[in-house]
Amino acid sequence: MTPLAALDYASVFVFALTGALVASRAQLDLIGFIFIATLTAVGGGTLRDVILNRDMVFWVANPAFVGTAAVAAIIVFFTAHLLESRYRGIVWLDALALAVAVPSGVGVALELGMPWSVVLIMGIATGCFGGLMRDVVCNEVPLVLKQGELYVTCALCGGAVAMIALHFGAPTSLALVACATATLALRAGSLLFGWRLPVYRSFPPRQ
C-alpha cells in the first residue's frame, strides 16, 4: 500500500465515523448510517479526483474504500449510545480526519505535478467538503462555517506548511507529516483555547 493510499484509508475511516455519529443524532436507520458515513468519507476525495482529472476516482478504482466506510458506520450504529457526548466525539474525530485528509489532497496534487496554488486548494477541498456535505444533508450547522472557528484556515495553513517544507528541501513524506501536524494543532487550538479569526461586523449594527 502506498503512503497516499494509507492516508486515503485513514481519512475515509475517520470521516465515516463522524458521518455515522451525525446520523445517530438524526436517528437514522442502518442504511441511513452507511449512506451518510460514505458520503462524508468519500466526498472530499471525490471532488479532488474529479477536479484533478485523475484516471479514476479513488473509491471507484478501489471499492474497498466504500467497504471501509460501511464498516465504520456499522460500528457506530451499535456503539454510539455509549458516548457521553456524541457532538464532542464528532468535533474531535472531525479534527483528526481533517488532519489526515488535507495531506492526502496535498500529496495527490503534488504527485500530479500541480502548481502550489492548486495544491493548497486540493488540500482544502479534500479536507473540508466531505464534512460540509454531511452537515448540509443532515441539517446540522456545518462545522466548516461555524462563526469565527478555525477550520478552512487550518487546512490552508497545513497545506502552506507542506509547501514551505518542500521549498526548503524536505522530503515529501516529511512535508506531509508537517502538514498533518500543523492542521491538527490549529484545529485543536481553536477547540481548546478558542483561537478565532476576526469576523465581519456591520456598521452601523444590523437591526
Q: Does 207 fall in a domain?
A: no
| pLDDT confidence of residue 204 | 65
Triad 3, 9, 12: Cα angle to 5°:
140
For the chain, what is the domain count?
Answer: 1
The pTM for the full model equals: 0.93
Cell numbers given for 109: 496534487
Question: Is the pLDDT assigned to residue 207 strictly greater than 60?
Answer: no
**For range 137-148, the mean pLDDT:** 87
**For range 106-125, the mean pLDDT:** 97
Q: Say what percent of the chain tops pLDDT 90.
A: 84
**For range 53-74, the mean pLDDT:** 96
- Tell me what the pLDDT averaged over the chain comes to: 94
- CA separation for the pair 124, 115 (Å, rounded): 15
Name the residue with cell 456598521: 203
**For range 75-99, the mean pLDDT:** 94
- Find the domain containing 9 and state its range: 3-193
Q: Does 9 fall in a domain?
A: yes
| pLDDT confidence of residue 190 | 95
- Please report which confidence band the pLDDT of residue 145 belongs to, taking 50, 70 and 90 as the band edges: confident
Q: Does 51 fall in a domain?
A: yes
Q: Does 201 fall in a domain?
A: no
Main-chain phi, psi angles of 149, to 5 degrees: -70, 150
Q: Does 205 fall in a domain?
A: no
Instruction: Report which of 37, 22, 64 is spatially closest to residue 130, judged by C-alpha positions.
Output: 37
In the three-class reduction of DSSP (H, G, I as helix; E, B as strand; rest coil), residue 112 is classed as coil
Q: Does 64 fall in a domain?
A: yes
Alpha helices in 26-171 (DSSP H): 30-51, 58-61, 64-79, 86-111, 116-137, 152-167
Q: Does 198 fall in a domain?
A: no
